Each structure stands twice: as structure tokens, then as C-alpha cells.
Amino acid sequence: KQWYQRRVRGVVFKALLFSAQGRLLPNLTEMDSGLELNRLWEDRDVRFDIPLSQIKTRPGERLIDHLDSIEDTKGNNGERGRLMVTNLRIIWHSKIFPQINLSVGFNSVVEVTTRSAKSKLRGQTEALYILTRCNNTRFEFIFSNLVPDTPRLF
């Protein structure tokens, strides 16, 4: 009976993932069918300074794009880093100190806009603003592209 209940929970979990807002979702055949909902945190949490092992993509998570020379203008102004976008989250980490990083799950994102921001490394520039809510706490992230004269904002 317990085996059956675990199996049913796994099937319900998979159904919830497939129905989530039309996003690119993990290949569930690669994931453990006994995976419980609280073990998958990457798509719903905002975490700071996570271990390097958690920055790596998990089974089923796919890297969609990455940008080098991105500054976390609000949290780490003056620090050049890399921004990676996966099908579950956005990851930023410092190039000099990779232990300085953040992970923003897409299900915690409330609003995404672009506005003008002041960067230590680039001056006044157009920046990506991401407003999130996680565990009743709101966070705002500001990312600036440090490549001059690039047609690509993000």
C-alpha cells in the first residue's frame, strides 16, 4: 500500500510539472519517479551563495542561454559575472569569486522590466529588473550588460 501511495504521488507530481504555465519543463524520464515536491527547489526558490554543486544543472534541467559580462547591479555592484538561463531558473555568479552567486526560480518571479540603472562598471545603462517573491519575502534583482554597443540587452 505504501509503495502504491508513493507511486501515485510521483504521477501527480509529474502531472503538475507538465501543466505548469507552458514553460520548458524537465525531461521527467531522467528524473527519479519517487522525487517528492520539496526536493525540487530550483524552480520556486530564491537562494544566495549556494554551493557550486547546486549551480550545476540537475537531471532534466537544460541550459537555454548564457551571457558573460553581466553585473548584479543591486547586490554586487562593480562585480563582473555570468548570467545563465535554464528551463527552471536564472543563475548569476561572479567570475572572480564563484561562491558569490544567486539562483532565482521562475515560479518566484512576479515581474520583469527594463529600466535605466547606474552601474559602477558601465555608468548609466539600461538594466533588467526582476521582482520576485519567495516565502513571503520580496526581492528585487537588477542586472546590467557590461558589453558596450551591443544590440542585445538580454
Number of residues written out for the chain: 154
CB 108 within 8 A of CB 38: no
pTM of the model: 0.72
- Show the 3-state SS of 53-86: HHHCCCCCCCEEEEEEEEEECCCCCCCEEEEEEE
pLDDT tens for each residue of 42-97 = 999 999 999 999 999 999 999 999 999 999 999 888 889 999 999 999 999 999 99
